[in-house]
Structure 1
Amino acid sequence: MRWRLAAALTGLLAGAAGAGAPAPQQVRFDSLDGTPLTASVFLPAGATRGAVVALHGCGGLYARHGERAGSLNARHQAMADLLLGQGYAVVFPDSLTPRGENELCTQRIASRRIGQFARRADALAALDWVAAQPWADPQRIALLGWSHGGSAVLAATDRARPPVRHHAVRPAVAIAFYPGCRTALYDGYQPSAPLVLMLAEHDDWTAPEPCIELGRVAAAEVHVFRDSFHDFDNPKGSVRLRRDVPNGVHPGRGVHAGPNPTARDQAYARVVEALARAFR
């Protein structure tokens, strides 16, 4: 059984790598709070099987250093390649640069100008924009996000909140990688879509325990990946201590972040399974 799973994962990632990296289209639409947004849109070569709205984390959508500077960072590009290889369109709205920010990670949470009200407004607007496109089926749209964007997935699928409860377009599935779950847990989160949580066992940036409890009360599908830290699905770099991050489980002591290739392979497989189940 193990060798079959390993072979399946290897084939899956080989397919993603073979999908290539076409240049995205750049589109504009307004957030529900009135902010003019930009988004990078990837369309598969053939018919679209569904669409995924992907929400960046506190580091923003783009790489700021190295050969990828100005382009999608490696984590986002890897997900785009994976989803394109499966026949899905992918839409990456940028919540930061239209509001004059490049990143939020080094800012204390209490001082950030961009919080989850804005991210929710952006996510709901992106769902509306995708639903109106000729290549999209409004019933076959997923919401996916990482960290701050994973928390935005929760904010945009909490039907306990009137903006979500009354919103016409709802995702068929919501997938959140290592979100901050404490607020959703204590505020009575009620999912408007099937929820899948991808968590890191040793995450000291956004602790997994509140998300595990949220998964229990919200009947979510929860995956905790062993020997992993925050950003475990990043295809580049190595685990390192980021002392420039003032938040986390131990404020002021920094946080660990970096890849675990085995966990990334497993999480990618779970993403593909969740989308196939939601869009069948």
Structure 2
Amino acid sequence: MKRQRHYLLAGALLMGMAANAATPAVPLSVPSLEQRGGQALPLQAYWYAAEAPGARPAVVLLHGCGGPYDGRGKLSVRMRDYSALLNQQGWHVLVLDSLGARGETELCTQRIGTRAVTMANRRLDVLGALSWLAQRGDVDTARLALLGWSNGGSTVLAATNLTHAEVAQASPRPRAAVAFYPGCEAELKRGYMAAAPLQLLVGAADDWTPAEPCAALAAAAKPQVQLHSYAAAYHGFDSSAPVKLRKDVPNGVHPGQGVHVGGNAAAREASRAQMLAFLKAQLQ
């Protein structure tokens, strides 16, 4: 109970600090490594610059299957809150949109295996973003990180697995990677070899992207992967939205029966504190 109160207080403090540290997002275009007609596919992106001197670490934010926007077409609360929190640490933030350039607005209602935007596409997006960051004079290329949620968390795994040839050949590589409630089955089946220290943050009650494959991946991965699992936490536990059943999602542990999505206050604050501690240890 004392530890839970500690995380709740720490998380509230962190998010309060983040709100005060928010900087305006600068829209820009970032080239994916995917080629279309002999040209790099341009991705819509948003740059949150750290208000700190010199070359700074940078974190790439990778959205879930719903994309990076809210219902009004603005960057979601999650993207804005985490960007502000990371800015507070003196780190730049790059929010990447992998859907818009490919004519998609969401993937959640598309069955896995039929989705228009695949992990192969998103892996090329991440590698392109890392290359783009390496060309900026205000970025410390040796201190880059990836942070993703759900489908974006799966992208973190796909973009840091050295068994993929393009990942093994990529330069630069991230210094650290964090995945919130990713789908771990594909990379577990393939065999995961981490290109960077990895932290997995999963909900024990998640019936969309279950925790068990992630626990198995963490146990088998080389080098060691850090795993935190949160009791009674569903998919999207780091939000403040109430838990609801999404019947429009055809995937999940029980296909056709829908999936539960929503926040868990204890898991939200604990995961944010643990995420930040992990990134600090790797990027400072």
Scaled to the shorter chain, the TM-score interval is over 0.9
Instruction: Note if contact 1:199-1:208 (Cα within 8 Å) is conserved in structure 2.
Output: yes
Tell me what 2:242 maps to. Answer: 238
- Given the alignment, which residue of 248, 260, 263 partners 2:267? 263
Displacement of 1:49 after TM fit?
4.0
Match of 1:16 in 2: 18
Contact 1:42 1:91 in 2 (8 A): yes
CA offset digits 1:58-84 (Å, max 9, x no partner): 000111x2xxx1111111112112111
Say if 1:167 and 1:266 are closer, same or farther in 2 by CA, change over 3 A.
same
Secondary structure at 1:32 match in 2: strand
CA distance in 2, matches of 1:5, 1:181: 26
1:164 aligns with 2:167: yes
Of 59, 63, 82 in structure 2, the residue corresponding to residue 56 of structure 1 is 63
- The residue number in structure 2 matching 1:29 is 30
- SS in structure 2 of the partner of residue 40 of structure 1: strand
Residues 1:229 and 2:234 are matched in the alignment: yes
Q: Contact between 2:7 and 2:270, CA under 8 Å: does it hold in 1?
A: no
What's the CA shift string for 1:207-265, capped at 9, x where partnerless?
A: 10000010111120000012210011123x21100000000010000000011122111
SS of the residue aligned with 1:50? strand
Equivalences for 1:92-241 in 2 at 5 Å?
92-218=95-221, 219-235=224-240, 237-241=241-245
TM-score (norm 1): 0.94
Distance 1:125 1:225, change over 3 A: same
Q: How far off is 1:88 after superposition?
A: 1.2
3-state DSSP of counterpart to 2:188: helix
d(CA) in 2 for partners of 1:28 and 1:115?
20
Whole-angstrom distance in 2 between the partners of 1:4 and 1:225: 15
Deviation of 1:5 after TM superposition, in Å, equals: 4.9
Q: In the superposition, relative to structure 1, how do residues 263 and 73 fare at CA in structure 2: closer, same or farther (>3 Å)?
A: same
Instruction: For 2:227, give the aligned amino acid.
Output: V
Change in 2 beyond 3 A, CA 1:188/1:9: same
- Deviation of the 1:4 alpha carbon: 5.0
1:46 and 2:26 correspond: no
Matched, 1:278 2:282: yes
CA contact (8 A) 1:38 1:94 kept: yes
**Contact 1:13–1:265 (Cα < 8 Å) also in 2:** no
Q: Distance in 1 between matches of 2:188 and 2:256?
A: 24
- 1:52 maps to amino acid: V
Distance across 1 between alignment mates of 2:151 and 2:236: 12
Q: Within 2, Cα distance between the matches of 1:214 and 1:265?
A: 24
Q: Percent identity?
A: 43
Contact 1:123–1:156 (8 Å) recurs in 2: yes
1:251 corresponds to which residue? Answer: 255
Letter in 2 for 1:58: C
Once residues 195 and 230 of structure 1 are traced to their aligned partners in structure 2, the CA distance between those partners, rounded to angstroms, is: 19
Q: Cα–Cα, structure 1 residues 9 and 74, in superposed 2: closer, same or farther, change >3 Å? A: closer
- Aligned-partner Cα distance in 1 for 2:10–2:252: 35
Residues 106-140 of structure 1, C-alpha deviations (whole Å, 9 max, x = no match): 11112111110000000010111111111101111
CA distance in structure 2 between the aligned counterparts of 1:180 and 1:79, rounded to whole angstroms: 21
- Alignment of 1:72 onto 2:78: no
Aligned-pair distance for 1:6? 4.6
Amino acid at match of 1:136: V
RMSD over aligned CA atoms reads 1.4
SS in 2 for 1:15: helix
